[in-house]
Amino acid sequence: MTAVLKSGFSGRMAASLLMGFSCGLPLLLTISLLQAWLTERGVDLATIGLFTLVGLPYTLKFLWAPLLDRYTPPFLGRRRGWMLLSQLCLALAIAALGLCDPLGHPWLLAVTALAVAFFSATQDIVVDAYRREDLTDNELGLGSSLYVNGYRVGMLLASGGGLVLADHLSFAAVYAIMAACMLVGIVTTLAVKEPKVAEGQPQSLREAVVEPFVEFFSRAGIKWGLGVLAFILLYKIGDTMAAALTTPFYLDLGFSKTQIGAVVKLFGFWATLGGALLGGALMLKLGINRSLWVFGVLQAVSTAGFALLAQVGASLPLLAGVIACENLTGGMGTAAYLAFMAALTNKRFTATQYALLSSLMGIPRVLASAPTGYLAQHLGWTWFFILCVLVALPGMLLLLKYAPWRAGGQATQ
């Protein structure tokens, strides 16, 4: 216990927490907060749905992740140098986003939001690599947990805090405040030490780009590899599609931005953390594979709660109940999902392989979410959320082969 407490209060653990905050902050600035801004300015629902495409860098970050492994900036070292560059550019892009005009110059707004997502995804790559190299194997579990908690706090500030501020300040001022909050990450980067270069650092661009992919697909054949990637794409697609337009949905039902910020974001934040902790505890008993089954079913059931809310209308108690259920089960599903992906990576290529898998995890959030505005417009909110439940079925069916109930905690090969 003493060793755990000593490790938990170490500088490295504090760095994991603060870096998590810096990585979580930008994500929802181009999703929830931007959607609220567009809705308030009268932008149509279909266009708002298309704006989810600005999140493409999160799904494509594996393309330039090897470059960050191979090359070193001329200052601060390989990890800290790239972190500082990405954070400075990110702060400037966030501030610039608030100065755009959604109606007068929508394309400039889209390009600036795309820049925010690109620099945010770059920061994610480097912070993940830094954390893996800075922490010992025994510290990785606690460090990752603190990172996730910091990430959630950053998301809460950007979405919940941003929406509450937007009821009292202009969106330009809100985005300027969020840009200033990036100082947390910048100061942390300057304060920490560069981790020692691990053995096996890529000595050529070809080695950094090719070898991680060759190793992954050589384990049990290309068919197995493609099947696993398909499962990662589809497992949370229904849950992701439902979440893509929740802010316009709540506003359309008649909830105020303050209610959304307080109930959906703040209350939902704690439910998600609780779900992640509960999911981790249950996985100790069920194992990863069985957890994916149980949590996947619960995710689909919780998504159906949005359809019920669409029928009832602006009921604050029902909203709290739906949010509690959805975020609790979503946190549980994410815990099992991330554990499954971590088990797939080879430790020699953790950074690039995890970038590939986490990029695929983000594809539904961007590509599958893009047409959600059109679907909601033509189907109505109730049938849209019922469709989201049905879309979750293909991912559940792939569990039969790649995470069967009878197997242990590893993907079958």
- Clarify whether residues 105 and 11 are in a common domain: yes
Domain total in the chain: 2
- Clarify whether residues 372 and 357 are in a common domain: yes
Domain edge (last residue) among 201, 229, 264: 201
By mean pLDDT, which of 232-236, 271-275, 386-390 is the weakest? 271-275
**C-alpha–C-alpha distance, residues 124 and 108, integer Å:** 24
- Clarify whether residues 188 and 334 are in a common domain: no
Best-predicted range by mean pLDDT (49-53, 91-95, 170-174): 91-95
Q: What is the pLDDT of residue 137?
A: 56
- Clarify whether residues 400 and 308 are in a common domain: yes
What does DSSP assign to residue 407?
A: S
Contact present, 265 and 157 (Cβ < 8 Å)? no
Domain extent for 10 = 1-201
pLDDT, tens digit (0-9, with 9 covering 90-100), for 164-199: 888 888 888 999 999 999 999 999 999 998 887 655
- Clarify whether residues 49 and 150 are in a common domain: yes
Sequence-distant (6+) residues with CB within 8 A of 3 are none
Cα angle 190-194-200, degrees, rounded to a multiple of 5:
150
- Clarify whether residues 337 and 398 are in a common domain: yes
Of 134, 165, 133, nearest in space to 29 by CA: 165
Whole-number percent of the chain with pLDDT over 70 = 83
- Clarify whether residues 373 and 278 are in a common domain: yes
- Clarify whether residues 69 and 112 are in a common domain: yes
pLDDT > 70? residue 383? yes
Q: What is the pLDDT of residue 101?
A: 81
- Clarify whether residues 319 and 385 are in a common domain: yes
- Clarify whether residues 165 and 253 are in a common domain: no
Domain edge (last residue) among 201, 232, 248: 201
pLDDT, tens digit (0-9, with 9 covering 90-100), for 3-21: 444 444 568 878 888 998 9
Q: Residue 159 is encoded by which pair of tokens?
A: 């979405």
Of 156, 363, 183, nearest in space to 262 by CA: 156
Q: What is the pLDDT of residue 347?
A: 57
- Clarify whether residues 209 and 148 are in a common domain: no
pLDDT, tens digit (0-9, with 9 covering 90-100), for 300-334: 888 888 888 888 887 878 888 888 777 777 767 77
- Clarify whether residues 223 and 366 are in a common domain: yes
Domain edge (last residue) among 201, 217, 252: 201
CATH label of the domain that carries residue 13: 1.20.1250.20
Q: What is the pLDDT of residue 342?
A: 64
